[in-house]
Chain A
C-alpha cells in the first residue's frame, strides 16, 4: 500500500540533508543535488511510475543496512583498462557529452549522491569481440559503470546477478565499435532499479541481451541514443516472473541522426500473481531520415492472476522512415503442450520446453536453459 511507504519529499529531504558521501570526490554531485532540490523525486503513481510503486524502492533507500557484496569482483582481459572511481584518472573517461539527462532519470541523481562503487572501463581500439568484461559484484548498493568502447573496438560486457539498490551502466560506443551487453537479473527478494544509457556513434553497434527473473521490485530504464549515421542497436530481452514478482522495463530508443537501425525484441512469461511491464518507445527526431526501427513484444500469461502491460510507443518526427511494431499477450499454446505430452514428455517438462522456446525468440542462449532448469 502506498500509504505505508515513505513519500518522495521525505526521501529528497533526507538526501539533501545528508549530502553526498566522500567516495570519488571528483565525481560531480552538484547536478544531482540540483535535480533533487529543483524538481524533487518521482511521486508515487506519477506517470513514469504508474505500474511500479516507487515508494517501496524509497523504503529500501532509507534502510540503514542493505545486502551488499563486500568487494569488487570483475574479470577483464588485459588490454581493457578498468579503474575504480577512487582513482581520479577514471574521470578522464567521461566525455563532454552525457549519455542521459538527469532531469529525465531522477533516480540516477539518488545514485549520484549515495554512490559507493564506480568503475570506468576503457576498451581501446583493437580489442576483439571475443573479449569479455564480467561484472560479478560491486561493493556498494549504489553503483556506476562507465564503459567507453573506442573506435573500431569490440567487447562483451556481462552483468551477473548481484544485489544493488541502484545501478547505472553508461556506455559510449564510438565509431565502428561494437558493444555486446549481456545482463542476467535474478534475486527474488531484491528491490532494484537500474539505468542503462548508451550512445552509439556512426557505424557503431550496441546489442543488449537481457534475461530477468523475478524480483520483489525490479525497474530497468534503458535509453539507447543512435547518435551517428548508420548506428545500430538490437535490444533483446526475455523475462520470466512468478509468485509476487514485479518487473518494469522502460525502454527508449532515440534515433537522433539519419540512417540508424533499431531492433527491439521482447518475450515475457508471467505466472502466479506476478506483474510485468514493457514500455517500449521509438523516438525518431526531426531530420533522422532513413531510420529503420522495429519493436516486437510477445507475452505469455501462464496464469490468469498474473498481469502484463505491454505498450509500444512511437514518436516520429521524420517522414522517410521505416517503423513497425507489434504487441501480443496470450496464453500458453495448449495444442503445443499436448503435442509434447503425446510424445511422452510429462506436463511440467512440456510447459518448460514451450516457455524456453518462447523466450528463445528473444535470447538464444543456453543460460535460459540453465536458469529455467530445463534439461536439454
Chain B
C-alpha cells in the first residue's frame, strides 16, 4: 500500500480547471521530485494535498495509507502525518515562533496520546533543530516568519518539519531563494529526516537540489497532470532541454 496515492485528481480554482486528472503514488522510504513550468499547478497540487480552503476538488481521490483524506480538515491531515512546507510561508507578527511551534508539537502529542513535552524539553528540541539549520535561536523568539528573509522562511519550514516528524513531507520550492550554503544545510536536514518509514515529495525547478537529495522518481507536471515520470536522469534531461520537447 502506498503511503500517498493520488488518483485522477481534478481541481478547479475560481471555475478554472488547474489539475486535470493528476495521479501519483509514493511509497514509504521514497523521495519523489515534481517539476514543471511556472503556473502548471504544482503549488495547487501541494495546497490541495494539505487541504487548503479555496480549491474545488471536482474529481479523484487522495489517500494516505489507503485511507481517503480528500475531505479531511487541514489539521486532520497533519495528524495523519502530512506536512507541507509552503512556497510562500505566511508572516504572523504577534505570535512568536516558539509559541506557534509549541502549540503544533502539543497538538501532535495529544493526537498520539503522549504527554505534551515540558517547556524546557521543548525548548531544547527547538534549539537543537534551529542549530542544525544554522538558524540563530533568536528566530524562535521572533514573530512567525515576521520580517524573515526568503531563505530564513524556508529554513523555518524545515525546522517545523524536523520538530513534527511527519510521515509525508511535501516541500514546495523549499530550495528557491536559498544561497549555496543554505541549500546544503537544508538538503542535509531533509536527508537526516528521510528514513524507511517516511516519504518526501520535492517540488522544485532546479536539478541542483536533486544533487544533494537524490530522488527515486522524477515527475513532470504540465497542463494539470503528470505527463512523464522517470528516474533522476529525467531531471538532468529537463535541465538541458526545458519543457518544450515534452509537448511533442
List the interface of chain A (C-beta within 8 A of B). 333-336, 338-347, 349-350, 353-354, 356-361, 375-376
Which of B4-12, B63-71, B104-112, B180-188 contacts its partner?
Answer: B104-112
Asked whether B92 lies within 8 Å of A347 as measured between CB atoms, the reply is no
Asked whether B75 lies within 8 Å of A357 as measured between CB atoms, the reply is no
Question: Which residues of chain B in 94-114 are interfacial with respect to chain A, using CB atoms and an 8 Å cutoff?
Answer: 94-95, 99-100, 102-104, 106-108, 111
Asked whether B73 lies within 8 Å of A343 as measured between CB atoms, the reply is no
Asked whether B51 lies within 8 Å of A361 as measured between CB atoms, the reply is no
Q: Smallest CB–CB gap between B98 and chain A, Å?
A: 10
Asked whether B78 lies within 8 Å of A344 as measured between CB atoms, the reply is yes
Asked whether A354 lies within 8 Å of B95 as measured between CB atoms, the reply is yes
Asked whether A340 lies within 8 Å of B73 as measured between CB atoms, the reply is no
Which of B16-24, B82-90, B228-236 contacts its partner?
Answer: B82-90
Interface residues of B, CB < 8 Å — how many? 32
User: Please, which residues of chain B bring their CB within 8 A of the CB of A340?
Assistant: 100, 103-104
Let me know if B50 is at the binding interface, CB within 8 A.
yes
Asked whether A339 lies within 8 Å of B90 as measured between CB atoms, the reply is yes
Nearest B-chain residue to A344, judged by Cβ: B78
Given contacts A344-B111, A353-B100, 19 further A-B contacts (CB under 8 A): A335-B90, A338-B74, A339-B144, A340-B100, A341-B73, A342-B51, A342-B75, A342-B83, A342-B86, A343-B75, A343-B78, A343-B160, A344-B79, A344-B108, A345-B104, A345-B107, A357-B93, A357-B143, A358-B94
Asked whether B75 lies within 8 Å of A361 as measured between CB atoms, the reply is no
Interface of chain A: mostly helix, strand, loop or mixed: helix
User: Please, which residues of chain B bring their CB within 8 A of the CB of A341?
Assistant: 51, 73-75, 78
Asked whether A343 lies within 8 Å of B94 as measured between CB atoms, the reply is no
Most chain A beta-carbon contacts within 10 A, residue among B50, B75, B111 = B75
User: Please, which residues of chain A bring their CB within 8 A of the CB of B107?
Assistant: 343-346, 349
Asked whether A344 and B164 contact (CB < 8 A) given A336-B90, A339-B89, the answer is yes
Asked whether A353 lies within 8 Å of B95 as measured between CB atoms, the reply is yes
Most chain B beta-carbon contacts within 10 A, residue among A335, A340, A344, A349 = A344
Question: Which residues of chain B in 132-190 are interfacial with respect to chain A, using CB atoms and an 8 Å cutoff?
Answer: 143-144, 160, 164
Let me know if B52 is at the binding interface, CB within 8 A.
yes
Q: Tell which of B74, B77, B89, B92 touches A354, judged by Cβ atoms closer than 8 Å.
A: B92
A-B contact pairs, 22 of them (CB 8 A): A336-B90, A336-B92, A339-B89, A339-B90, A339-B144, A340-B104, A341-B51, A341-B73, A342-B78, A342-B84, A343-B107, A343-B164, A344-B104, A344-B111, A344-B164, A345-B75, A345-B103, A349-B107, A356-B94, A359-B94, A360-B94, A360-B95
Q: Smallest CB–CB gap between B234 and chain A, Å?
A: 30
C-alpha spacing A338/B95, complex, angstroms: 14
User: Please, which residues of chain A bring their CB within 8 A of the CB of B89?
Assistant: 339
User: Please, which residues of chain A bring their CB within 8 A of the CB of B90?
Assistant: 333, 335-336, 339
Q: Which 9 A-B pairs have the closest CB atoms?
A: A357-B94, A357-B95, A344-B78, A343-B104, A341-B74, A344-B107, A341-B75, A335-B90, A336-B92
Q: Tell which of B50, B53, B111, B164 touches A334, judged by Cβ atoms closer than 8 Å.
A: B53
Asked whether B75 lies within 8 Å of A353 as measured between CB atoms, the reply is no
Q: Smallest CB–CB gap between B107 and chain A, Å?
A: 4
User: Please, which residues of chain B bring their CB within 8 A of the CB of A357?
Assistant: 92-95, 143
